């Protein structure tokens, strides 16, 4: 079986930047993802990607993808179901939705990103898709003049609350502490938005509804008082979980589930590099993910030369 130089697992900003750099170096590479573009496709406005102010997430994700295509990157629209290391080669199993096939690679850049963390409270799973959502830019349009709740205190939750405030009548922003984790500028905008009501120091207990979401049961952490909000939609934005199941037996993972790697992307497994949100890092942003993709190609090139 033909062996490619680098299998890039994940087609978000990290993986697509790696594809651009690898294509420029004439490395034989393939980007494996069910649909390349990444989580950023779901973002409303991205206002902090340098030189492209106020671009939409969809435009930015598509621009990464078309840049990689233009440079000649190859794509395989599959999920990676297993990765094994045999000697100094990697064997990958990929699934296209119908059948599984095999791929051999000399090195792997793992840039599979993260998945939405769930609240794990009663009603959440049952009502997902029936009022419970993890993506405001996908689902906000279903709530014109309705009441919705957003749960979380990070950049995603506040950005989702702002997006929803332009469509819904009332937005309740529920956070478990009395200070936000999100950046100061977005916190200020949220505080100045009339139809966003902040509910702080409060945790969600249960989501109820027959066919679709009807109520959100909450508890104030300090007083212990329980209360109910009548809402039509609930947007869960409580962070992300790194998706490492296919490499956790190969590389060292930290206690949060992230692959241990510095900005070179070098992991404890020779030939396996980690890029983007999946790796241990201070700041998970599109710009840092893109930088990781470039760095990983440099590291992979050095590895391939020595190999
Ligand atoms: P995050 O920064 O990890 O924030 C998650 C939030 O959810 C935190 O406020 C956390 O509370 C809360 N939370 C976690 N588990 C919870 C639970 N079980 N119940 C209730 N609340 C819970 O996640 P994120 O907002 O998705 O952002 C992920 C990364 O992407 C961050 O690095 C962020 O900066 C970046 N990002 C950047 C932008 C941008 O710059 N444009 C936009 C979106 C995301 P605590 O604060 O108490 O821990």
Q: How far apart, in whole angstroms, are the C-alpha atoms of residue 78 and residue 93?
A: 10
- The three-class DSSP label of residue 280 is coil
Nearest CA to ligand 1 atom 29: 284
- Distance from Cα 135 to the centre of ligand 1, integer Å: 13
pTM of the model: 0.83
To test ligand 1's pocket by mutation, which of 47, 113, 153, 179 has the most ligand atoms within 8 angstroms of CB? 153
Higher pLDDT, 93 or 35: 93
- Distance from Cα 222 to the centre of ligand 1, integer Å: 22
Q: pLDDT value at position 175?
A: 98
What percent of the chain is predicted at pLDDT more than 70?
A: 100
Q: How far apart, in whole angstroms, are the C-alpha atoms of residue 42 and residue 160?
A: 10
pLDDT digit string (tens) for 5-42?
Answer: 999 999 999 999 999 999 999 999 999 999 888 888 88
Angle at 115 between CA 237 and CA 67, to 5 degrees: 105
pLDDT digit string (tens) for 131-158?
Answer: 999 999 889 999 999 999 999 999 999 9
Q: pLDDT value at position 44?
A: 78
1, 61, 18, 7: which is closest to 247 by C-alpha?
7
Q: How many CB atoms lie within 10 A of CB 218?
A: 21
Ligand 1 atom closest to 152 (CA) = 7
**Average pLDDT over the chain, rounded to whole?**
96
pLDDT digit string (tens) for 246-272?
Answer: 999 999 999 999 999 999 999 999 999
Nearest CA to ligand 1 atom 30: 284
> Phi, psi (5° rounding) for residue 149?
-120, 145
Q: With a cut of 90, say whether residue 46 has pLDDT above it.
A: no
Burial category of 234 from C-beta neighbours within 10 Å (exposed 0-12, middle 13-18, buried 19 and up):
buried
- Distance from Cα 15 to the centre of ligand 1, integer Å: 22
- Distance from Cα 128 to the centre of ligand 1, integer Å: 20
Q: pLDDT value at position 36?
A: 86
Q: With a cut of 90, say whether residue 82 has pLDDT above it.
A: yes
Cβ-proximal residues to 75 (8 Å cutoff; 6+ apart), any chain: 11, 30, 31, 32, 33, 36, 69
264-296 b/e with 16+ CB inside 10 Å = b? ebbbebebbbbbbbbbebeebbbebbbbbbbbb
Higher pLDDT, 37 or 97: 97
Q: pLDDT value at position 84?
A: 98
The residues lining ligand 1, judged by C-beta closer than 6 Å to any ligand atom, are: 46, 48, 119, 151-157, 159, 176-177, 181, 203, 237-240, 284-285
Nearest CA to ligand 1 atom 2: 154
Q: How far apart, in whole angstroms, are the C-alpha atoms of residue 45 and residue 71?
A: 26
CA contacts within 13 A on the Cβ side of 73 = 27
Q: pLDDT value at position 20?
A: 98
Q: pLDDT value at position 47?
A: 83
Q: How far apart, in whole angstroms, are the C-alpha atoms of residue 70 and residue 159?
A: 32
* Length of the chain as a residue count: 307
Q: What is the dihedral of CA 167, 170, 176, 180, to 10 degrees?
A: 60
- List, by residue number, the catalytic residues: 135, 138-139
Nearest CA to ligand 1 atom 41: 46
Average pLDDT over residues 96-105: 96
Average pLDDT over residues 226-239: 97
Ligand 1 atom closest to 155 (CA) = 25
- Distance from Cα 189 to the centre of ligand 1, integer Å: 17
Average pLDDT over residues 175-196: 97
pLDDT digit string (tens) for 187-216?
Answer: 999 999 999 999 999 999 999 999 999 999
Q: pLDDT value at position 37?
A: 86
Nearest CA to ligand 1 atom 36: 155
Q: How many CB atoms lie within 10 A of CB 2?
A: 6
DSSP string, 111-133: ---EEEPP---TTTTTTBTTTEE
């Amino acid at each position: 079986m033909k062996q490619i130089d680098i299998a890039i697992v994940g087609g978000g900003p990290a993986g697509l930047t790696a594809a651009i750099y690898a294509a420029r170096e004439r490395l034989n590479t393939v980007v494996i993802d069910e649909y390349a573009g990444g989580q950023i496709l779901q973002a409303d406005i991205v206002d902090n990607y340098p030189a492209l102010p106020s671009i939409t997430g969809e435009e930015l994700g598509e621009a990464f993808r078309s840049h990689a295509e233009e440079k000649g990157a190859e794509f395989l629209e599959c999920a990676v179901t297993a990765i094994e290391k045999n000697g100094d080669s990697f064997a990958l199993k990929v699934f296209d939705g119908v059948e599984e096939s095999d791929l051999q690679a000399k090195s792997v850049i793992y840039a599979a990103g993260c998945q939405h963390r769930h609240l794990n409270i009663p009603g959440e799973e049952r009502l997902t898709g029936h009022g419970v959502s993890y993506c405001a830019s996908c689902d906000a349009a279903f709530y014109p003049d309705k009441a919705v709740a957003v749960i979380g205190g990070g950049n995603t939750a506040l950005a989702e609350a702002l997006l929803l405030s332009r469509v819904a009548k009332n937005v309740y922003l529920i956070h478990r502490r009395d200070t936000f984790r999100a950046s100061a500028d977005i916190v200020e905008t949220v505080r100045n938005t009339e139809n966003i009501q902040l509910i702080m120091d409060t945790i969600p207990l249960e989501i109820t509804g027959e066919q679709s979401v009807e109520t959100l049961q909450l508890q104030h952490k300090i007083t212990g008082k329980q209360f109910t909000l009548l809402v039509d939609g609930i947007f869960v934005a409580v962070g992300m979980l790194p998706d490492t199941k296919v490499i956790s037996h190969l590389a060292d993972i930290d206690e949060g589930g992230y692959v241990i790697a510095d900005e070179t992307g070098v992991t404890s497994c020779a030939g396996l590099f980690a890029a983007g949100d999946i790796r241990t890092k201070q700041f998970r942003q599109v710009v840092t993910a893109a930088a990781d993709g470039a760095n990983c190609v440099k590291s992979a090139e050095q590895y391939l030369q020595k190999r």
